[in-house]
Chains A and B, each alone.
Chain A
Amino acid sequence: GQQVMQIPQYQHVQEGEDFTTYCNSSTTLSNIQWYKQRPGGHPVFLIQLVKSGEVKKQKRLTFQFGEAKKNSSLHITATQTTDVGTYFCAGIQGGSEKLVFGKGMKLTVNP
């Protein structure tokens, strides 16, 4: 079945640093979505990417969808303590409606 892998699973950064997390699918995706879950909270939708090679920005967050539509990345610039949480990528395989989540990347920030 469809699998979505995220690396790394944990990331600890110093406030102000940049970092990137990656998401890889075993199958071609029709779209990929990113969510953020704060400790004790629920996943909150951040963005959806649909087109091959698509790049979208939200303030300090940059999301990219791979050319083959099998991978994606999230880059955060100048990390802040408010960025703390777990970031999930989730993909939908063409023709399906099942959103399959990766295991997430837990980010901690040292002030």
Chain B
Amino acid sequence: DAGVIQSPRHEVTEMGQEVTLRCKPISGHNSLFWYRQTMMRGLELLIYFNNNVPIDDSGMPEDRFSAKMPNASFSTLKIQPSEPRDSAVYFCASTLRDRGRGGYTFGSGTRLTVV
């Protein structure tokens, strides 16, 4: 199993540009989560999906952030326009929802720098 795959690993972009982060969950997992990690705020849940359907997006900071999951094997997190305060490590995680809420498997993350 290749694990949760995220791309790109690093992204440096200029303020105002659109950024798209990608995630491929573990095959067979039916829940997918997007987290953001910063020194100040720690790990924050942005949004999660069950069976490709967005369930809770209350953690999405503002309208500049959007997430989609068009099928069971792919999800995107888009920031448009990006701002310097969006700089963080973004993690995608997946799990098998009906397995008694077992542990999440995290991807390696995307380190985003907005200059």
Interfacial residues, chain A to chain B (CB-CB below 8 A): 30-31, 33, 35, 41-48, 50, 88, 90, 92, 97-104
Q: Judge whether B42 and A103 touch: CB under 8 Å.
A: yes
- Is the pair A30, B106 in contact by a Cβ cutoff of 8 Å? no
Question: What B residues does A47 contact at CB under 8 A?
Answer: 103
- What are 27 of the A-B contact pairs (CB < 8 Å)? A33-B103, A33-B104, A42-B106, A42-B108, A43-B43, A43-B93, A43-B106, A44-B106, A45-B103, A45-B105, A46-B103, A48-B101, A48-B102, A48-B103, A88-B43, A90-B43, A92-B101, A97-B31, A97-B50, A97-B101, A98-B56, A99-B104, A100-B45, A101-B45, A102-B42, A103-B42, A104-B42
* Complexed CA–CA distance, A92 and B95 (Å): 14
Nearest opposing residue in chain A for B89, CB measure: A42
Q: List 16 other contacts, CB 8 Å, given A42-B107, A104-B43.
A: A33-B104, A35-B103, A42-B108, A43-B93, A44-B106, A45-B103, A48-B101, A48-B102, A50-B100, A97-B101, A98-B48, A99-B104, A100-B45, A101-B43, A101-B45, A103-B42
Q: In the assembled complex, how far is the CB of residue B18 from the closest CB belonging to chain A, in whole angstroms?
A: 25
| A97 close to B55 (CB less than 8 A) | yes
User: Hey, which chain B residues are within 8 Å of A98, CB to CB?
Assistant: 45, 48, 56
Q: Known contacts being A30-B101, A31-B101, A50-B100, is A99 close to B106, with CB within 8 Å? A: no
Interface residues on B, range: 20 to 34
Asked whether any CB of chain A lies closer than 8 Å to the CB of B25, the reply is no
List the 9 closest A-B pairs by CB distance, nearest first.
A45-B103, A101-B43, A42-B106, A103-B42, A43-B106, A42-B109, A42-B108, A33-B103, A48-B103
Interface residue SS majority, chain B: strand
Give Cα distance in the complex from A2 to B58, angstroms: 13
* A interface, over-half SS: strand
* Pair B42/A101 contact, Cβ less than 8 Å: yes
Q: Is the CB of A42 within 8 A of B45?
A: no
Question: Across the interface, which residues of B come within 8 angstroms of A92, CB to CB?
Answer: 101
Within 8 Å of chain A (Cβ to Cβ): is B91? yes
Chain B residues in 8 Å Cβ range of A35: 103
